Structure 1
């Protein structure tokens, strides 16, 4: 038992250590509806607005290794905002998208990011934001991790098991896909709703049989908590892209600053491609095992503006989570996007 608890303590310490990269680098609302660009097309951002001189953009960083954390480390967002006379102010790290959106709802964050499943869940509530870009999902780096003593060898073995998931986010989405794959329903397993840090603790101590998780948490679960990937998001057909969002009030008021953040993120993506060894070192210093850090670098994606094809991916996820009862009704994202490449022009 002492040995097991030591493993667990180490795992949680590594999870918290993932905040290191997000802490690196520089430290230093009106409602309007954008006009529709047509069926499936991204909405064009307004081009008029107040001066950006002296403006502050509050960016919510998520825990772990993220493109935004790398952008902060190399200063690319800060440089792009400085060209507009503005500056960045970083908040977090937040353990997941939902608490970052809660901070946005409170006015403490202007821009953040996370999974499209979590974004849909937030929009089904009272959140008000626009999506201006995505990173394509890394479906092979998310999925269902089985505990060492769970007896789970396939998705079918989830029947009667406890699965740690984050509510209305990536975890619940992946768990439902896995149950569908096995011809099971959500009533055939017990969903244990936990945020990532609590899920890690429950998984490591055997309080749950499996963990539906993503990104660096999959490395933690496998490399430090003795878990095993049963089925990946890729095998499940996951469309769990990472949208970058801005509060509607901020996006309508400062479209040029949203575009500046987008350019800074693109610079960070280019930097990862050009500096894979240094990027992997940064990821490892943030708490990822070396093999996982390297895999993260190799799987890194550029940001993409919102296109009709991406709109359809969003719509497919929105339909799915509505049909499975994750949200009360299907969320229409057609007017929840921004043509970031035209912003301010």
Structure 2
């Protein structure tokens, strides 16, 4: 883990070097941000134009890439050098780190229990996670969906081998769920809210019942975090401001997210309530939490090797 002192040292060096860059050259600096069509702070900042405004004052341009359908393809873009910063779940970040993608986590947002869960059709006859034995469940491989299912099965003493995991992207899971190709769907917002309200679904277990330790994380390429520490701090400052606005204005934030995600506006209130929760710099406690999930992932066979989480976190102020 980059300590705050180490990061601030990098920040000071970067700032001193930046001071010698000609104005014309500084104006050409660009931060490339990959956004996901989901209820996170990056999507909020993009829609409200706050990042562009704040960084333009520093002679920095924001270039948006996406929307990405899920964290995995966004992390691949980061690995390919196409973007510098993006968002995803802590579970997806663990999978990416296990695959040796050189990223660092710089912000942490504990996911609200109501923002994730396992949903089934109301008339399915499935009343609890224990009823999933012998059923098919849609999940995204190595991400939040697979984590929620596996954690839920373990919490309820259900043999994972008795449940068939159907690996689908979030965009493909919805049609499969509505058409009855799968019996359940382990997912997160906005998909969870959509499944409940538009797909005749009911949540048999939310994040609390599953005992989920999942979180939303913001990540940067290790190269960007090291070479442009000052710019990463600037981005994080705006993100913190957007997050504070969302918490104070949940209905309005929900409306912004609903518009960006192309979901009916009548879902905006619930999406805002579920997802406007605090985003902070990564603490030692957060590192331990992510590390515990990573160990569980490796033990469960979801990832091939255990990544060094502590070395993949940068501590901002």
User: What TM-score comes out, normalization by structure 2 length?
Assistant: 0.90
Indicate if the aligned counterparts of 2:90 and 2:214 stay in contact, CA closer than 8 A.
Answer: yes
Indicate if the aligned counterparts of 1:57 and 1:88 stay in contact, CA closer than 8 A.
Answer: yes
1:294 alignment counterpart: 269
- For the pair 1:128 / 2:102, whether they are aligned, the reply is yes
**Count, aligned residues:** 304
How many angstroms apart in 2 are the aligned matches of 1:213 and 1:42?
A: 38
How many angstroms apart in 1 are the aligned matches of 2:153 and 2:67?
A: 32
Q: CA deviation at 1:266?
A: 1.3
Deviations 1:135-187, CA, capped at 9 Å, x for gaps: 12122221110134432110100101000000000000000011112212221
1:171 alignment counterpart: 145
- For the pair 1:314 / 2:290, whether they are aligned, the reply is yes
- For the pair 1:100 / 2:63, whether they are aligned, the reply is no
- For the pair 1:273 / 2:236, whether they are aligned, the reply is no
How many angstroms apart in 2 are the aligned matches of 1:110 and 1:205?
A: 38
Indicate if the aligned counterparts of 1:150 and 1:210 stay in contact, CA closer than 8 A.
Answer: no
Q: Within 5 Å, which residues of 2 pair with 1:127-276?
A: 127-276=101-250
Q: Secondary structure at the match of 1:160?
A: coil
Q: Which runs of 4+ in 1 moved over 4 A?
A: none
Deviations 1:241-286, CA, capped at 9 Å, x for gaps: 1110000111111011111111111121122234444323323434
Deviations 1:177-205, CA, capped at 9 Å, x for gaps: 11112212221100000010011111111
How many angstroms apart in 2 are the aligned matches of 1:36 and 1:264?
A: 21
How many angstroms apart in 1 are the aligned matches of 2:183 and 2:157?
A: 19
Q: CA deviation at 1:331?
A: 1.9
How many angstroms apart in 2 are the aligned matches of 1:139 and 1:58?
A: 31
Indicate if the aligned counterparts of 1:42 and 1:338 stay in contact, CA closer than 8 A.
Answer: no
How many angstroms apart in 1 are the aligned matches of 2:206 and 2:266?
A: 17
1:4 alignment counterpart: none
Distance 1:210 1:92, change over 3 A: same
Q: CA deviation at 1:207?
A: 0.2
Indicate if the aligned counterparts of 1:132 and 1:245 stay in contact, CA closer than 8 A.
Answer: yes
Indicate if the aligned counterparts of 1:42 and 1:334 stay in contact, CA closer than 8 A.
Answer: no
- For the pair 1:119 / 2:89, whether they are aligned, the reply is no
2:65 alignment counterpart: 91
User: What TM-score comes out, normalization by structure 1 length?
Assistant: 0.83
